[in-house]
């Protein structure tokens, strides 16, 4: 497993203005070890799809972590918001620009700015909520496979398969 450089190294690399987008992704992405620490209950894809409001393919263009101060204590991270450019919508509806919200820490979705994802989420106010347990995937092959499985689940019983759109 590759080692993640210390945060200070990321900040030094981010000093150049053209590296800003790449650095935002590095600072918001969890390491593989942290992503494995989330205690997700095993769920079938059919159950996740049924409970979701929105499923789409898109890219996060920017991300920001919100924090709050409670009773004068140090600020605590409350959520991470990502501004997504939405491409293909598989379930529900959303605008071409959507806000995706995820919890901080090991159960956060761990999106990297500029990387394409298939996102499975639920409506929460004006945003879409997702986390590490929803089955979001990145990578062309993984997105295509998950999108095909989701299309199959969303088909009415006995209906002919819909032609596959390239995500």
Alpha-helix residue ranges (DSSP H) falling in 52-163: 140-154
pLDDT digit string, tens, across residues 99-145? 999 998 889 998 999 999 999 999 988 899 999 999 999 999 999 99
Global confidence as pTM? 0.69
Domain that residue 129 falls in: 7-154
- Among candidates 109, 119, 116, which has minimal Cα distance to 140? 116
pLDDT digit string, tens, across residues 24-78? 333 334 333 334 578 888 889 999 999 999 999 999 999 888 777 777 777 666 7
Model pLDDT, residue 77: 64
Looking at the domain assignment, is residue 166 inside a domain?
A: no
The total domain count for the chain is 1
Looking at the domain assignment, is residue 2 inside a domain?
A: no
Looking at the domain assignment, is residue 40 inside a domain?
A: yes
CATH number at residue 133: 2.40.50.120
Looking at the domain assignment, is residue 159 inside a domain?
A: no
- 49 CB contacts (<8 Å, ≥6 apart)? 55, 91, 120, 150, 153, 154
């Amino acid at each position: 497993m590759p080692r993640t450089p210390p945060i200070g190294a990321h900040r030094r690399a981010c000093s150049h203005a053209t590296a800003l987008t790449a650095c935002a992704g590095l600072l918001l992405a969890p390491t593989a070890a942290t992503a494995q620490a989330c205690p997700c209950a095993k769920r079938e894809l059919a159950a996740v799809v049924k409970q979701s409001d929105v499923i789409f393919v898109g890219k996060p263009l920017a991300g920001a972590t919100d924090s709050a101060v409670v009773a004068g204590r140090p600020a605590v991270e409350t959520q991470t918001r990502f501004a997504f450019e939405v491409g293909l919508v598989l379930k529900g509806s959303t605008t071409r620009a959507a806000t995706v919200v995820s919890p901080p820490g090991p159960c956060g979705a761990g999106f990297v700015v500029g990387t394409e994802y298939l996102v499975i989420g639920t409506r929460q106010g004006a945003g879409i909520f997702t986390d590490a347990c929803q089955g979001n995937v990145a990578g062309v092959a993984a997105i295509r496979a998950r999108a095909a499985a989701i299309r199959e689940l969303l088909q009415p019983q006995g209906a002919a398969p819909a032609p596959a759109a390239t995500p």
